[in-house]
Structure 1
Amino acid sequence: MSWARERVGELVTGTEDGRARVSTGVTLTGRAADGAITGTETRQVRFLLAGPQDVAGLNPGAVVGRYPVPGAVDAETDKCPHVEFADAALPWRYTPAANPAAGTGVLRPWLALVVGVEDTELTLAGDFVSLGTEVQNAHPLAAPHPYGHVQRAEGRHLARLLSTRPLAADTDYTAVLVPAVPGWTGAAPVTLPVYDSWRFRTAAQPGGFAKLAARLTPGAADPGTGRATVRYPYLADRTVELRGALAPIGSADPPLDPAIAADLPQHTVPPPDPRGRPVIGPPVYGAAWPPAATVWATGLNGDPRHRGAAGLGLELGIRLQEELVEEAREHAGALAVAAQWLGRLSLGLAASGSLWRRRLPTDPLHRLWLFGPALRRVVTPQGPLAELTVAQGLALPRGIFSTAARRAVRPGPARTALLRGAVDPAEVLRAANRCPRPPGLSEDGVPPLGRRFDERLKEALTSGRLDSRNAVEGLRRFDVGRLPEELREPATALLRRLIQTASDGRTDLAWGRSIEALTTAAAVDPRDERALARARELLEQALKEFGRDPELPGDLIGLLDALAERPGREPPCRPVDLDALAASVTPLFDPTTEDAPARVRVLAGIDGLDQAQPLAPPEVCVGLDRPVWRDLNDAFAEWLLPGAGNLPDDSVNAVQTNPVFTDAFLVGYNTQLIGELRWRNLPITTGCTPLRVFWDRADTASGQRVDDIVGVANWPPGSELGAAGHRPGGAAGGDLVLLFRGQLFLRYPKTLLYLVSAVHGGGVDFDSDPDSAAPRVLPAFQGRIGADITFFGFQDFPAGGIASHWVVLEEPPSGYRFFNDAVSPAGRDGARFADDAFADPVRVLVRGDSMTPSAA
């Protein structure tokens, strides 16, 4: 839409003093207290709306977007600068004009976005700006007005003001938001208040993404890019061809000149000293990972091309030794602390083992007495061992293994001075391990319900009948408090019934069930849950059936005699097998075992130890997360891509990685680094390969880093340099790499790049659009060579496969943009211009079969 305004704008009838004049009818209706209408009166009300001169400024948050972003240094010259508003009606709210009839015109906004060169076209001074005639003419106010529009996007309305003036490349601009006043004619400078402003700079290259991508020329590089000819200095007119880390697709090292192969050992293998003394000579690559007599090491040391690549790595190891050693120390972690811990642990285990063998008691019970205070620190899934040995149902009393118990029986103090001899800890444990005898019967054979109760029962037995008075007195003296808490309530209720019955003088009742229940309750062990339940059951049953017992044959004496003859209930108790306990806890304190507590506790806090010799001085194999291609690029960029400086501007070419160079370079780099680390007394394990990352690859699915080589010690002895067995997972070498030289990726570093198959119907067809559902192949690593060469590598993608794929570049999403050079704003309103000038996202497709230099 070209504009938006509140509904009050429909009432505007004209202008007055730069403000909109509104006229509307107002009707007042009078009503009596009972609601009856008493009369009406209608009048026309006229008033003025606020105009631009009444605006002191914009509220914070009124402006929600600016393009180019403030401070941009590479703004596109073919796009319109613009400002976005949260309130869609704001740019037209204070316009001093009536709304045009539907479809008959455009409402000009009261705001304007002006873009100009500061101090030349406009001058900022505090909250005001002076616009020169040139910048006024670049932003004419004549109708129709193409600079403002309202867009309905994502469920909301957004107002936008544009500046359609052409932008020059490599120029600093200032954008100001000002009121569009009538005095803005272009005839003379005008000074206006500024509501918003920001600065930006356009890119050095004119145009945007589409223009930069359109300038790319595929396959324009020299076919020899990635190779260099080097003179062999020891033989006249002899040269070798070296391939860099990036090399032509399908290239390989030619066979070495036989003359060079025969001459090289004279310069790399020093003659032996007649006296047998060691002779210093050139490095032997591979000696750091014995055995050195491998196919790959022989080829590396016997070929000057490979020795040259290894020498580059060795030279970098010398130049960057301080940085590399510091990084290795950081990755090694607390190695010195771990070594100190292990040293102290070894000393402690040796000392404690000696004491253990010489001072440990031979008797199991003496050992148990010695270990006793420490049993509380021995924790099992069921709890501390000290608590389990004195648990309910076991004979050992609580505190038997405490330090207080040890002090109580040790010889010397006054409390043990009168003993006939020293207290034997074994005898103490044996005595404490006996279960207590169960409570005995009273003299008359009745379980001890209470002394007075026993006496009254005895009188009743002697007299031959149960006297009510004696029974009441005896029952009242029964001590219910002696019973377990669970039995007190039913026993009290039963006693009350018995006392009440006896008090009534009734002697014809049979009391057998009640006496049996009370006797059982008095003799029960409170720790025996089953006995408690049985006693409670008897009490409740006697209470429930009280008074229903049939007359017992014979007298009460026979019943009490029968009760007295029942064996007493022995509380549950079993002695602890002290010998077995001592045998089971002894290994827990033995410092000479593999599971000694101190040994386990210390070793658990140290990672990366040799499990076969965990107490040996620790050695580590540090793995540095360092993509070394950057080191090579910083020091010897010509060997990262020989001939890189000859790549044409605005070109895109395909090359491949050179695994032979990578292997040789990393062997040389690691050789120097390992020697430097050992020279500085950093313990490094034999066979370690600290640097295994060359290209900084990442798995496109998981994002995890992927090494370029496995440890050199794991290279198959019969493999050549560059073999698949040197890489994780045995991946084949020669991955595809795309080279872009130009401003495209400098201006748009977030450009999406991928490959998509061009195969249709069983064959390669570049005349058809790629299948939108075809899988995308994303780059796994990328980087920059020099100032303007950007490369992208594709993990495990054979370089030759580029001939059957499209190379796709998608413009990074950057919001809504509008071209300032695509259509003329003349004769267009804001909505039409925005629609015609809208910058659709661009996707560029390049034929893969045109990417190699030979296909140029």
Structure 2
Amino acid sequence: MPLDPNAPANYSFLPWLRRGIINLADTTSIAEKAPLSVSLNLQAIGDGETPALVERKVQVYGPGDISGIDRRAIVRTIPRAGVRDFEDNFLCAIEFYDEDFPWRYSPFLPATGKLSPWLWLTALREEEFVRHSPTETSLPAIEINSAALQTAFPAPDTTWAWAHTHLNFAVEGNTPAEKRQMVDAMLDQNPNMGCSRLVCPRRLQPGTRYTAFLIPAFEKGRLAGLGKDIETIQAIANAAPSWAASESGSKVFPVYYEWEFVTSTAGDFESLASRLAPLSEAEEQALLKAQNSRMMDIRKPGWGLQYTGTTGAIPLQSALKPLKQTADVPITDSSEAEDKTFVKNISDLLNLGVPVVQDASNPPAPSPQNPFFEDSNIEDDPIIVPPLYGSFYRNNPPKVNPAANQDWYTQLNLNPAFRVAASQGTAVVQKDQETYMDRAWDQLSQSQGTQQVVKRWHYSLEVSQRLFQKRIEPLLQAQSTQNVTENTFRTLAFMNPLHASLVVDNKSFAATLQQKPVPSAYSRSFTKITRPGGPLVRRLNKQVNTGRFFEIALTVAPPKNVLHNSLGNIVSFLEGLPNETLEPIRGRRIRPIFLLKNNFLKAQGFVGIAACKQALSALMPYVQFTSIMTAPIPPSDMLYNSIASQINPALTITARLQSILPATSTFSRTSAAAFSHFPQFPEPMYRPLAERSTDYILPGIDSIPVNRVTMLETNPSFIESYMVGLNHELSREYLWREFPAPLNTTAFRQFWDVRDTEEAENNPEAFKDIKAISTWGVSALGSHPPDGKVKEKIVILVRGDLLKKYPNTEVFMKQAGTGDTAIQYPLFTAQIEPDIRLIGFNLSVEEAIGNPSSPGWFFVLKERAGDIHFGMDIDESTADPSWPAISNEVPENSCINASSAGFKSLPRYTSERSDRVAAMLYQKPFMLFVPASRLVKL
């Protein structure tokens, strides 16, 4: 079983694999029509008889013995059943759980790394077959027309090229036998480490419905599946294939398994990624033109206001902006006299809506004349003025001051472009006001239920804390008393129910106690038996006048250990036996005393002096007296302080409660009323804005050509203006509907979508788009990200079929020359239907492009590693096999000839072995690297 050294590093492909008795077959096992047989040499062994050698030939199953397969043998199909967009440049395939399944019943022996499978996979169009109903003795069958037999099947002698074994480990060994042994051992240990695969070599046509059929590859198997009699099957040669190189007429095949799929017209990941290209100069200019064409006429905005400047129109803002867009000077920062006058008039109008604070010591001035209409008074003719966005988040009276042009409140309300952004937020809430308020009431109901739970927990906390301070703390502080030993045992026994959950020195306290000489002395049972006033202490108290067991145990001497002393005396006696020989008497030799004693012990049933000494010496340590009072005890201060910190209710109950509260809730131990939770709407709010008009996301975004990628910048000022409008209008709804929530809460904080960002699940606060508006204070608009780092972030716009077909594509930025150490994953995403994806990163344009001292970044699109595929590239390539290279030889809906000159001339082809064919056609996950500098034309 040779192995391919050129197989991919993560996988090992084998050309074939056989396991079990079939490996004993040799050339004598092959017959023309008879079943394949294996010679066995067995030893027959009987009681009292000489072993006899028995030679027998055992027949093994072949294709003619198979009338169906268990569907559980199939673990996966490529593509899966029902798929409607399978890449037409890939080959369909089927995988089996057993690593030797395709060759298990093949009536051949392997030769030169080749072994033909006993079953075959074909993919047919709807018009190429007709179904036959099964009978009592046959499988479901299909009749394949003659045209399909010519195009959908390869030459029968090349089927070896399309079956292989797939292993998920590297095969090691110096010889084929060692490698075979290693493979068998790995598969015996874990059968899930490998599978077998059968590939259909038919080139698929785009946009076509196919049905894949698993059928017999040998004529005997075809006849058996159709329910033919045994005599008919046995009359067929074993090597006869189920189809011929040139069939005339149609033919019926039994079907072991089938599934349907439809091919795509778009292409595979590699081809779709390769189509992406940066915007051309003309396309960038068109995008800029669309951005600059969105102007707002401010000459006569209403309420009697009139702009007398020369411009008369200002550019509108959007959430994203092209890199080449010229930065405009906001009208609030203009030094032109007409602009200043216009801004002053806007502020006067807006401030009319600010309520006058009554002060008895300083009565209000008389009502001024209506500045917008002649001969009228504000009190007599009140007018409705535009809203002051964000007024709920400023102290009363929230008047705007044109001089404070670095205050977000002034910038937002006096700049008409930002007011438009805020008005879109207002319109979003107004459109779905009932839905938002229903959700707010639902959250309030849940919050009130949570508050009831918090109050009960707070009561439990206070009671537990009092009990802890009164009962437990004095017990834990008792190590300073004179009876340290007793306090230690009693304290630890009292804490017995908590031993399993306590940790001391990073180890389980219960496990630590089990290592003590007498661990049961720390149990509740021992504490109960030795309690003061108990029966045991009362009986012992007759000898010693005390009421505590530990004082008695320390005062009364332990009784003598008779057994231990007896063993010691015996061992001493045995060690003292003399070994000298006595003088002979009257010429007779007298045996040594040692031998006499040794024989005496043996006569008594012992084994001898040396054995007795060894056994008794080994027994002595197990019968000597051990006192629990000498058991080692942990240092008191460390032990008690550790226990106190782990069971203090102020810590444990508070932590437990906080873990079950909503993430946005807060809990104070000092007061149950300190718990607070106000309505939150965490969904990304760019969606309703894009539904109103995609121009608010990026003007001209719909005109970007397909299969383009470009870099944009975020516009924090616009986004914050929009978010203020959302929250301001929701506060107005609270006020109108008398909803019990503070009007300065921030319910909307998420503009972009962060649900695909893994880190956002662990730290959602860091991935919000704005801080709570009440914390903004006096600061510039667009300077309120949660991390405090104010900068325009880059956004990569991708439009094309790639992310539409492969929505789970892995996207990230990688810094040049840093290996895998400098990688940034998306900070947020957004999707504009039908095929535009916006991917934001925490990088500025300057950082992404790089400079001589800091390398730039690559934008990377990576195909997710998952289902394994085999096929060839759509576009002709000199490095990888491609369909155009053999298009004359293999047109659509025809089969690859693995032995043809055209196939052998493809890149990466090495030899006629199925494992090397698999390695050549294996489609590795594709990655596209785009330098950020290519996306910028400055």
**1:787 Cα shift?**
0.8
Identify the residue that residue 278 of structure 2 maps to in structure 1. Answer: 218
- State whether residues 429 and 729 of structure 2, in contact with CA within 8 Å, keep that contact through their aligned partners in structure 1: yes
The one-letter code of the counterpart of 2:109 is N
Identify the residue that residue 113 of structure 1 maps to in structure 2. Answer: 121
The one-letter code of the counterpart of 1:826 is N
**1:739 Cα shift?**
0.8
In the TM superposition, what whole-angstrom CA distance separates every residue of 1:499-549 from its partner, at most 9, and x where no partner exists? xxxxxxxxxxxxxxxxxxxxxx9xx8x879999999999xxxxxxxxxxxx
- State whether residues 243 and 253 of structure 1, in contact with CA within 8 Å, keep that contact through their aligned partners in structure 2: no
For the aligned residues, what is the CA RMSD?
A: 4.6
- Relative distance call for 1:94 and 1:282 in structure 2 (3 A) is same
Structure 1: which 5+ runs fail to align? 345-374, 386-483, 491-520, 538-601, 759-769
**1:657 Cα shift?**
1.0
The one-letter code of the counterpart of 1:108 is S
**1:8 Cα shift?**
4.6
The two structures have a TM-score, normalised by structure 1, of 0.63
- Percent identity between matched residues is 24
- State whether residues 143 and 252 of structure 2, in contact with CA within 8 Å, keep that contact through their aligned partners in structure 1: yes
The one-letter code of the counterpart of 1:739 is L
1:690 to 738, 747, 757: 747
The two structures have a TM-score, normalised by structure 2, of 0.58
Q: Distance in 2 between matches of 1:242 and 1:712?
A: 23
Q: Which aligned pairs between 1:75-94 and structure 2 lie closer than 5 A?
A: 75-94=86-105
Identify the residue that residue 861 of structure 2 maps to in structure 1. Answer: 809
In the TM superposition, what whole-angstrom CA distance separates every residue of 1:690-732 from its partner, at most 9, and x where no partner exists? 1111113457597422111112122131x22112xx1213112
In the TM superposition, what whole-angstrom CA distance separates every residue of 1:793-838 from its partner, at most 9, and x where no partner exists? 1135456524522222222102432114636643444233222222
1:158 to 192, 195, 212: 195
The one-letter code of the counterpart of 2:857 is H
The one-letter code of the counterpart of 1:730 is G
In the TM superposition, what whole-angstrom CA distance separates every residue of 1:617-643 from its partner, at most 9, and x where no partner exists? 997543321221122223322211221
Identify the residue that residue 704 of structure 1 maps to in structure 2. Answer: 763
Q: Distance in 1 between matches of 2:867 and 2:675?
A: 56
- State whether residues 815 and 858 of structure 2, in contact with CA within 8 Å, keep that contact through their aligned partners in structure 1: yes
The one-letter code of the counterpart of 1:153 is N
Q: Distance in 1 between matches of 2:213 and 2:298?
A: 70
1:837 to 892, 912, 921: 921
1:72 to 83, 89, 97: 83
Is 1:313 matched with 2:433? no
- State whether residues 443 and 679 of structure 2, in contact with CA within 8 Å, keep that contact through their aligned partners in structure 1: yes
Q: Distance in 1 between matches of 2:793 and 2:265?
A: 34
Q: What SS does the aligned partner of 2:410 have?
A: helix
- State whether residues 808 and 843 of structure 1, in contact with CA within 8 Å, keep that contact through their aligned partners in structure 2: yes
Q: Distance in 1 between matches of 2:455 and 2:551?
A: 60
- Relative distance call for 1:806 and 1:29 in structure 2 (3 A) is closer
Q: What SS does the aligned partner of 1:232 have?
A: strand
In the TM superposition, what whole-angstrom CA distance separates every residue of 1:250-288 from its partner, at most 9, and x where no partner exists? 646512466677557569647575326753222211212
- Relative distance call for 1:620 and 1:757 in structure 2 (3 A) is closer
The one-letter code of the counterpart of 1:99 is L
**Structure possessing the higher radius of gyration over alpha carbons:** 1
- State whether residues 621 and 688 of structure 1, in contact with CA within 8 Å, keep that contact through their aligned partners in structure 2: yes
Structure 2: which 5+ runs fail to align? 1-13, 135-139, 170-182, 188-193, 220-240, 301-310, 353-369, 372-376, 457-462, 474-536, 558-656, 851-855, 874-880, 887-895, 900-911
The one-letter code of the counterpart of 2:691 is D
Q: Distance in 2 between matches of 1:109 and 1:341?
A: 67
In the TM superposition, what whole-angstrom CA distance separates every residue of 1:148-189 from its partner, at most 9, and x where no partner exists? 122343265532111121222232222121112434244333
Q: Distance in 2 between matches of 1:487 and 1:232?
A: 101
Q: Which aligned pairs between 1:100-139 and structure 2 lie closer than 5 A?
A: 100-102=110-112, 106-121=114-129, 123=131, 127-136=140-149, 137-139=151-153
- State whether residues 116 and 122 of structure 1, in contact with CA within 8 Å, keep that contact through their aligned partners in structure 2: no
Q: Which aligned pairs between 1:316-715 and structure 2 lie closer than 5 A?
A: 316-336=428-448, 379=467, 381-383=469-471, 485-486=538-539, 621-697=678-754, 698=757, 700=759, 703-705=762-764, 706-715=767-776
Identify the residue that residue 448 of structure 1 maps to in structure 2. Answer: none
The one-letter code of the counterpart of 1:757 is Q
- Relative distance call for 1:12 and 1:831 in structure 2 (3 A) is farther
Q: What SS does the aligned partner of 1:143 have?
A: helix
Q: What SS does the aligned partner of 2:109 have?
A: coil
Identify the residue that residue 192 of structure 1 maps to in structure 2. Answer: 253
Q: Distance in 1 between matches of 2:749 and 2:469?
A: 46
- State whether residues 541 and 552 of structure 2, in contact with CA within 8 Å, keep that contact through their aligned partners in structure 1: no
Q: Distance in 2 between matches of 1:488 and 1:261?
A: 101
- Relative distance call for 1:242 and 1:532 in structure 2 (3 A) is closer
- Relative distance call for 1:13 and 1:675 in structure 2 (3 A) is same
Q: Which aligned pairs between 1:172-251 and structure 2 lie closer than 5 A?
A: 172-180=209-217, 181=219, 182-185=241-244, 186-205=247-266, 207-220=267-280, 221-223=283-285, 224=287, 227-233=291-297, 235=299, 238-249=312-323, 251=325
Is 1:3 matched with 2:16? yes
In the TM superposition, what whole-angstrom CA distance separates every residue of 1:439-488 from its partner, at most 9, and x where no partner exists? xxxxxxxxxxxxxxxxxxxxxxxxxxxxxxxxxxxxxxxxxxxxx94478
- Relative distance call for 1:612 and 1:160 in structure 2 (3 A) is closer
1:826 to 889, 897, 919: 897
Q: Distance in 2 between matches of 1:244 and 1:125?
A: 64
- State whether residues 708 and 728 of structure 1, in contact with CA within 8 Å, keep that contact through their aligned partners in structure 2: yes
Q: Which aligned pairs between 1:27-38 and structure 2 lie closer than 5 A?
A: 34-35=49-50
Q: Distance in 1 between matches of 2:818 and 2:391?
A: 52
**1:81 Cα shift?**
0.9
Is 1:143 matched with 2:190? no
- State whether residues 37 and 59 of structure 2, in contact with CA within 8 Å, keep that contact through their aligned partners in structure 1: yes
Identify the residue that residue 329 of structure 2 maps to in structure 1. Answer: 255
In the TM superposition, what whole-angstrom CA distance separates every residue of 1:649-693 from its partner, at most 9, and x where no partner exists? 111101011101111100111111111123222222242111111
- State whether residues 36 and 62 of structure 2, in contact with CA within 8 Å, keep that contact through their aligned partners in structure 1: no
- Relative distance call for 1:280 and 1:57 in structure 2 (3 A) is same
Q: What SS does the aligned partner of 1:114 have?
A: strand
**1:227 Cα shift?**
2.4
Is 1:846 matched with 2:856? no
1:749 to 777, 790, 807: 807
Q: Distance in 2 between matches of 1:655 and 1:695?
A: 15
Is 1:61 matched with 2:72? yes
Q: What SS does the aligned partner of 1:173 have?
A: strand
Q: Distance in 1 between matches of 2:713 and 2:265?
A: 32
- State whether residues 210 and 260 of structure 2, in contact with CA within 8 Å, keep that contact through their aligned partners in structure 1: yes
**1:792 Cα shift?**
1.0
Q: Distance in 2 between matches of 1:378 and 1:795?
A: 50
Identify the residue that residue 440 of structure 1 maps to in structure 2. Answer: none
Q: What SS does the aligned partner of 2:143 have?
A: strand
- State whether residues 250 and 800 of structure 1, in contact with CA within 8 Å, keep that contact through their aligned partners in structure 2: no
Moved more, 83-92 or 141-150: 141-150
Q: Distance in 2 between matches of 1:376 and 1:239?
A: 69
